Each structure stands twice: as structure tokens, then as C-alpha cells.
Amino acid sequence: MFNIAQTGSETLHNLTSLDADYVYSRYRHIPQNINFAIKALIAKSFLDSHNVAYPVSSEQSIKLTEDIAEDAKQFTIHVECIK
């Protein structure tokens, strides 16, 4: 998953989910909409320590929220689950 910073650049987040079977067996509840992310600095340190190349944006100007939303429309879709 990518998050858009105010400069308009994307930041990478590592997402995973809880083990729904385990949570249900223990709490009788099915987890929903739970995401986990790591800080960009941690990801950068990990990649650097393993000599993994990655692109770095030189964009420093601050974008308006409206402009960021307009840019995000190019790669964002709505997914709906209907029973």
C-alpha cells in the first residue's frame, strides 16, 4: 500500500492482517479493517543495510490536499463487497 505525503510523493507501507481464525477462536470476533505499517525510516534503514536500491524523490514543494486527491485518482479504485 502506498500513502501520499504532502509533497505528493508516495511512501511505502508494509501491510498484513491478523490471523482471523486465531482471533475468532480466542475472542469470538472476526477482525476487520486492521492494517499494520512500518515507518519510512525503518524501511529505509532495512533496505540500506541490505544494499537494496530504491528511488528517492527530490520533490520538496508542498501540495494542496485537493491537488493530492486529484493525483491519487489516477491509481485509486473503490472496492466494495456485497453479499
| Single-letter amino acid, residue 56 | V
Task: Please give the Cα distance from 7 to 19 (Å, whole number).
Answer: 35
Residue 5 pLDDT greater than 80, yes or no: no
Per-residue pLDDT tens for 33-78? 776 666 777 878 888 999 988 777 776 777 888 888 888 788 777 7
The model's pTM is 0.41
Average pLDDT in the 24-40 region?
Answer: 78
